[in-house]
Amino acid sequence: MKVLVIGSGGREHVMAWKAAQSSLVDQVFVAPGNAGMTDVSQLVPIEESDHEGLVAFAIREDIGLTLVGPEQPLLDGIVNRFEKAGLKVFGPTQEAALIEGSKTFAKELMVANGIPAAFSKSFTDYHEAKAYVEEMGAPIVLKADGLAAGKGVVVAMTLDEALGSLHEMMENNQFGAASERVVVEEFLEGEEFSLMALVDGERVYPLVISQDHKRAFNEDKGPNTGGMGAYSPVPQISQEIVDRSVESILRRAAMGMAKDGRSFTGVLYAGLMLTEQGPKVIEFNARFGDPETQVVLPRMTSDFVAAVLDLLDGKEPELTWSKEAIVGVVVASGGYPGSYEKGKAITGLDAVSPEALVFHAGTKLIDESFVTDGGRVLLIAASGQDLKEASRSVYTELEHIKVKDGFYRTDIGHRAISRVSF
């Protein structure tokens, strides 16, 4: 069969890479993709927003399965359009994708279904929000209600930072329509982890957990980003906690969505915090996480495409996992997550070991050489018998790669490596 992956970043590269390994798949297309993905796929020059063009391509090429990577086309109804055309597609409908598209909706879903989460209130009036933040004090969390490319969350450790961020969001329209409504949330302390699952209605099949690093700089300092790296497994989170999270969070969310007439099919992502009271939800996403997927899918030893097809056909998918650890590190453009320049030279990719994994996120090919074309440029991942070995391997590989004016964190996985004896 032929598979189409929609999107153009590192998440879509690993999805295409994993799909290409399937015994069921002859060819993988990515639309629009990027030049770094041609090792595993054929690029299709159709933007992810061109739903009619994508449907026409899928019909013309007899695509057997379409996998949707990013959140925006899901919220714009691309799955609805593919299903209307009678095409097999993996992802939530526009109605179900609202679990990511509106943090207020997600909070209401959690309250209605007894899903443990941080206490929060949402505001459309700046002065009411400001008074509430002043009353609650810091630390406190501010979230743009809508999509903000992974940058709409501020964890404010001081009241001045909170008020400044609130003013930027609501008065200066920092995130446009996404921050017309802002959710103000209690600050949760504990160990963070990402739990994703393949979901179809009330059927939930969890993947192995991972932990990503949102802050731009070492020691979890600097502004929040879309993610600077990730690792899996997360040995400081017990299997008992994972099992409890699946039952009290993912299953309740899936059942609640079905009950509300928004039945969810696709990848349900829960960003969780293990607090003293147990696991609580930080956020829900309606698709694979980025960069978590780049360390989770490489640990999958079963056939990814077969699992998705079985799920869609009402069968129980087979999911098996390597015991090896994987650490993935993002190389970002200088200035990210703020403003940055594109077109910077990338060298050393040919010196990376064949055992390492290189996933392209924001790259472009000019005169047969790769240059930067986004904030997050590459993710380099390496495996090992444990996280220490995987960490050593990935940072050895990163010594070969040079991105002009680029940077990366040198402590991805530190929370596990410093706390757990291997």
Residue 120 has pLDDT above 50, yes or no: yes
> Is 140 contained in some domain?
yes
> Is 113 contained in some domain?
no
Tokens, residue 2: 């032929």
Same domain, 65 and 137: no
Q: Helix, strand, coil % (nearest 5) of the chain?
A: 30, 30, 40
With vertex at residue 49, the alpha carbon angle to CA 47 and CA 51, rounded to the nearest 5 degrees, is: 95
Residue 395 has pLDDT above 70, yes or no: yes
> Is 115 contained in some domain?
no
CB contact at 8 A, 286 and 270: no
Please give the share of the chain, as a percent, with pLDDT higher than 70.
Answer: 98
Range of the domain at 357: 325-417
Residue 329 has pLDDT above 60, yes or no: yes
Residue 420 has pLDDT above 60, yes or no: no
Residue 51 has pLDDT above 70, yes or no: yes
pTM value?
0.93
Same domain, 208 and 171: no
Same domain, 151 and 67: no
Distances (CA, A) of 310 to 62, 65, 67, 203: 19, 12, 14, 12
Give the chain's mean pLDDT: 95
Same domain, 47 and 158: no
> Is 23 contained in some domain?
yes
> Is 232 contained in some domain?
yes
Distance CA(212)–CA(251), nearest Å, equals 23
CATH code at position 36: 3.40.50.20
Residue 99 has pLDDT above 90, yes or no: yes
Distance CA(77)–CA(64), nearest Å, equals 19
Q: What is the pLDDT of residue 223?
A: 87
Last residue of a domain, one of 147, 180, 213: 180
Same domain, 239 and 299: yes
Residue 149 has pLDDT above 80, yes or no: no
Give 183-200 pLDDT, tens digit per residue.
899 999 999 999 999 999
Last residue of a domain, one of 114, 146, 180: 180
Q: Which distant-in-sequence residues (6+ apart) come within 8 Å of 59 by Cβ?
A: 85, 87
Distance CA(351)–CA(341), nearest Å, equals 25
> Is 82 contained in some domain?
yes
> Is 253 contained in some domain?
yes
Please give the share of the chain, as a percent, with pLDDT higher than 90.
Answer: 88
Give 23-40 pLDDT, tens digit per residue.
999 999 999 999 999 999
Distances (CA, A) of 26 to 42, 82, 367: 12, 21, 30
Same domain, 304 and 371: no
CATH code at position 302: 3.30.470.20
> Is 114 contained in some domain?
no
Last residue of a domain, one of 78, 93, 108: 93
Distance CA(266)–CA(66), nearest Å, equals 11
DSSP per-residue string spanning 180-198: SSEEEEEPP-SEEEEEEEE
Tokens, residue 367: 């005169």
Residue 125 has pLDDT above 70, yes or no: yes
CB contact at 8 A, 379 and 356: no
Same domain, 211 and 173: no
CATH code at position 166: 3.30.1490.20
Which of 219, 83, 228, 207 lies closest to 151, judged by CA?
A: 228
Same domain, 203 and 305: yes
Rounded mean pLDDT, 90-106: 95
Same domain, 238 and 336: no
3-state secondary structure of 340: coil
Q: Which distant-in-sequence residues (6+ apart) come within 8 Å of 80 by Cβ?
A: 93, 94
Rounded mean pLDDT, 341-349: 97
Domain total in the chain: 4
Q: What is the pLDDT of residue 178?
A: 83
Higher model confidence: residue 154 or residue 296? 296
Confidence of residue 421 (pLDDT cuts 50, 70, 90): very low
Minimum mean pLDDT among 64-78, 128-142, 286-300, 310-324: which range? 128-142
Same domain, 265 and 302: yes
Confidence of residue 419 (pLDDT cuts 50, 70, 90): low
Same domain, 375 and 352: yes
What's the count of helices (H) and strands (E) in the chain, helices before strands?
A: 14, 24
Distance CA(231)–CA(364), nearest Å, equals 26
CATH code at position 368: 3.90.600.10
Same domain, 238 and 282: yes
